[in-house]
A and B are shown apart, each in its own frame.
Chain A
Amino acid sequence: AQKITQTQPGMFVQEKEAVTLDCTYDTSDPSYGLFWYKQPSSGEMIFLIYQGSYDQQNATEGRYSLNFQKARKSANLVISASQLGDSAMYFCAMREGPYYGNNRLAFGKGNQVVVIP
């Protein structure tokens, strides 16, 4: 079964608008971490934001915020005030188990975002 599901097709977003990228996950482990990465055409994986399963507050990092709905097992990324440089693939990933373990990441299929002026 897929651990991370990202099903949205490629998205076009108007510059300065907000965009929400959907991510649902599947785990029975009470301790897990959720990540969002940005991958521009250069290929590097750029870490954006992290949410721990025990975190009470939704994570925020500058223009990025994570809408964490634990009961629904969703961890949607919100990018506010989109910029042309936000055009990239966005991957949601999950680590099962605590951070200090030897736990690998499961990645979703990604969302392609294109910001248009």
Chain B
Amino acid sequence: GAVVSQHPSRVICKSGTSVKIECRSLDFQATTMFWYRQFPKQSLMLMATSNEGSKATYEQGVEKDKFLINHASLTLSTLTVTSAHPEDSSFYICSAKAGGSEQYFGPGTRLTVT
């Protein structure tokens, strides 16, 4: 089956620093990748949709300058949380899909900002 990886699985960073999360499709080419955010005991909230080679489409209320998304290749998308603050602490999950497939989810990245 289709495998999506995320790195790192867990990261702790200091307030004011930036952190990059990678999402890779390991055995298929992902034309579209999605980034979700999940607070404890809540549902997944879509942050943005990215298509390879083009700018990401952000959901309403998501700051594009704070959450930088790059989808430079068909197997890699990155989410950079810039100038992170404690309120950015959350579980970030990516998913990827090829043109004719459903979404496959990565294992998630737990971000803690101290």
Which residues in A have some Cβ–Cβ distance to B below 8 Å? 33, 35, 37, 42-45, 47, 50, 91, 95, 99-100, 102, 104-105, 107-110
Contact A104 B44 (CB under 8 A): no
Contact B108 A44 (CB under 8 A): yes
B31 to chain A, nearest CB (A): 8
The secondary structure that dominates the A interface is loop
Known: A44-B107, A104-B49. Is A95-B43 also a contact (CB below 8 A)? no
Give chain B residues whose Cβ lies under 8 Å from the Cβ of A47: 104-105
Residue of A nearest to B6 (CB): A44
Which residues in B have some Cβ–Cβ distance to A below 8 Å? 32, 34, 38, 42-44, 46, 49, 51, 91, 93, 95, 99-105, 107-108, 110
Give the tally of cross-chain contacts (CB within 8 A): 47
Give chain A residues whose Cβ lies under 8 Å from the Cβ of B44: 45, 91, 105, 107
Contact B93 A99 (CB under 8 A): no
B54 to chain A, nearest CB (A): 11
A65 to chain B, nearest CB (A): 19
Contact A43 B107 (CB under 8 A): yes
Give chain A residues whose Cβ lies under 8 Å from the Cβ of B104: 47
Known: A33-B102, A110-B43. Is A102-B91 also a contact (CB below 8 A)? no
Bound complex: CA of A93 vs CA of B98, how far in Å?
19
Residue from A42, A44, A91, A95 having most chain B Cβ neighbours under 10 A: A44
A8 to chain B, nearest CB (A): 14
Contacting B46 at CB < 8 Å: which of A35, A44, A104, A109?
A104
10 cross-chain CB contacts under 8 A: A37-B105, A44-B107, A47-B104, A50-B102, A91-B43, A104-B34, A105-B34, A107-B44, A109-B42, A110-B43
Bound complex: CA of A102 vs CA of B103, how far in Å?
10
Give chain A residues whose Cβ lies under 8 Å from the Cβ of B34: 104-105
